[in-house]
Structure 1
């Protein structure tokens, strides 16, 4: 094969249909090993990686309902190691095939265990360092309840920054982020990486779908609606590995969810605006009530003070009147006694009466002045 064009290369199209039928008939590691051997002998090195990734993952998806047991895998590994001269590359293809089944079924922990400890994955040798292998490990770590998000992101960055990153590496990385156990910055990470994928592959419908999912997670509903509409527009009507109907239903479900989220956001914004207006009205009304209460309090305090001052003034006047009245009585009694008794001359009597009157006047003035001094208003 001199190309990796699955749309126009007749030889590749024919080979693709042949191996598709073989995998559907016998979805085993042995079939994957045979396909890998044929691929090495018939596809030129320049297109080897693209065809290998497309076939191993694509055939895994259409046969995901037939996951082989650990015993079956062990037997297959023995056959590959004993009879295949390029055992490492064959084991790598078979590993991707089986891992693709686990990935399609979202068996995260089983995928992690298979990639890390199975004899088949270990037999892949140097191919374990390939970015696609790392991307699968990242996918397993993102969905696992055991592994940490930091570990998953570390593997993601390693695969994403590789100079050998392919379209399938990007797809698995984005799929892992989207299927991850929720974490802080989840939607932001998916949106950023999917936006980069869309820039590199502007006609890829699945990347526009991932971007719409990330935008939906961060509540950027308008942008998410544009992205999912673009995904629907680029979705091909036919496909041998993926179901057009299944993908279309998935995209339409996401579109409905985005529209629902958009409507809910609009209703929430409207409700928040109404609450803010009601809060403002309540605040103004409360300020008015506080002002009225403050004015009434000030008026009552003023009236109370005026009443206290009036009562104090009346009390002072009463004391002053009592003092003057007492002095007047004492003066009258004393004057009458001086007038009616004794043998004083008229001049002496007048002098005594005058002195007596002056004394009482001074006494009354002292009482009145002292009372004023004691009861005068103070600041």
Structure 2
């Protein structure tokens, strides 16, 4: 990265009118250089829009930082940075989008690292560290556990319910909805399924409040519906319910992409739901939309591989249908 913060600000300003591929390429290069030089970005974000060059640069910077240092300490540093560089009304959205996703796509081995030492230190800083720093660590850890699927579903529920950090933050109303969604996900993915009924209530409550304005929470709730344990337990539709378990993901994902048409993550779940419920041609159309919305920088988004997997599965399904 050449020059100081003013050079970065100038380059980002020049990108405002650039096409999407150039904007992503330049921001990714700036972020890579900043991480290599350990130069924390000096800019204020007045918008959560991922297409904004400043937001894109900062997101790529923290994405790379957390891949290099997949720890709760680094996640907390990201939250503290958000507290100091993002307008207050946008902090929650960036915390959810950056930290949960970073945890979901962290190196698998990082989830095995002990967390007790970090939690003990963090609790001594309550009241002096910005709440965003602690929230970031809670969300990053939740993403790490979510990445492991059913094997860590019970541990995720325990982290959100019993961790002293999560308990300390529970009074924060802004945290309640995403915690509800993650607890619903954990209940649906837990092979034991002891709390699945409670999970359904949490799921329904979070869905009603999140659909219109929170694509991150909506994404968690769609992922919950993909749980094979939830589907097996659901059985035939209950009285008054027209949708079988296999159709629910497609149904709710259709509402999600209507509410958030630019969110390629939600279009992925729509694609998968349509394919799994036996609508391969509609799934192909949804897949094309999702791929069109992907970041233009190859490898920049973990959903790229998931969509490639769907693309490989769909032709087989079409050939089966024609027989």
Q: TM-score, normalised by structure 1?
A: 0.62
2:52 matches 1:8: yes
Query: In the alignment, which of 152, 159, 165 is matched to residue 114 of structure 1?
Result: 159
Q: CA deviation at 1:88?
A: 4.5
Find the counterpart in structure 1 of residue 121 from structure 2. Answer: 79
Give the structure 2 partner of residue 146 of structure 1: 192
Per the alignment, residue 166 of structure 1 pairs with 214
The whole-number CA distance in structure 1 between the counterparts of 2:68 and 2:260 is 34
For the residues of structure 2 that align with 1:126 and 1:165, how far apart are their CA atoms? 21
Matched residue, 2:9: none
TM-superposed CA distance for 1:76, in Å, is 0.9
- Residues in 2 aligned to 1:67 and 1:102: alpha-carbon distance in whole angstroms: 10
Q: 1:227: Cα distance to partner? A: 2.2
2:255 corresponding residue in structure 1: 196
Change (3 A) 1:260 1:203: farther
Per-residue Cα deviation, 1:350-378 (whole angstroms, up to 9, x for no partner):
xxxxxxxxxxxxxxxxxxxxxxxxxxxxx
How big is the shift at 1:156? 1.0
Structure 1 pair 20–130 and aligned structure 2 pair: CA distance change class (3 A): same
User: What corresponds to 1:249 in structure 2?
Assistant: 308
Counterparts of 1:214 and 1:24, CA distance in 2: 30
State how 1:1-379 maps to structure 2 within 5 Å: 1-10=45-54, 12-69=55-112, 72-84=114-126, 85-86=128-129, 88-106=131-149, 107-127=152-172, 130-147=176-193, 148-162=195-209, 165-181=213-229, 182=231, 183-184=234-235, 185-238=244-297, 242-243=301-302, 245-263=304-322, 267=323
Give the whole-Å Cα distance in 2 for the aligned partners of 1:208 and 1:16. 21
**Alignment correspondent of 1:297:** none
Distance (whole Å) between structure 2 residues aligned to residue 140 and residue 252 of structure 1: 28
What is the alpha-carbon distance in structure 2 between the residues aligned to residue 227 and residue 14 of structure 1?
Answer: 29
How many residues were matched structurally? 262
Cα deviation for residue 42 of structure 1 reads: 1.3
Cα deviation for residue 134 of structure 1 reads 1.1
RMSD: 2.6
Q: Does the Cα contact within 8 Å between 2:275 and 2:314 map onto a contact in 1?
A: no
Q: 1:260 and 1:150, CA in 2 relative to 1: closer, same or farther beyond 3 A?
A: farther
Comparing both structures, which one devotes a greater share of its residues to helix?
Answer: 1
**Greater RCO, 1 or 2 (C-alpha within 8 Å, sep 6+):** 2
Write the distance in 1 (CA, Å) between the matches of 2:129 and 2:63: 23
**Counterpart-to-counterpart distance in 2, 1:3 and 1:203:** 16
Contact 2:111–2:144 under 8 Å retained in 1 = no
Cα distance in 1 for partners of 2:111, 2:286 equals 38
Deviates more, 1:167-176 or 1:154-163: 154-163
Looking at structure 2, the residues matched to 226 and 25 of structure 1 have their Cα atoms a distance apart, in angstroms, of: 36
5+ residue gaps, structure 1: 268-379
- Does the 8 Å CA contact 1:33/1:90 hold for their aligned counterparts? yes
Per-residue CA deviation, residues 81-119 of structure 1 (Å, 9 max, x unaligned), is: 212424654322211101101112213222222222222
The residue aligned with 2:239 is none
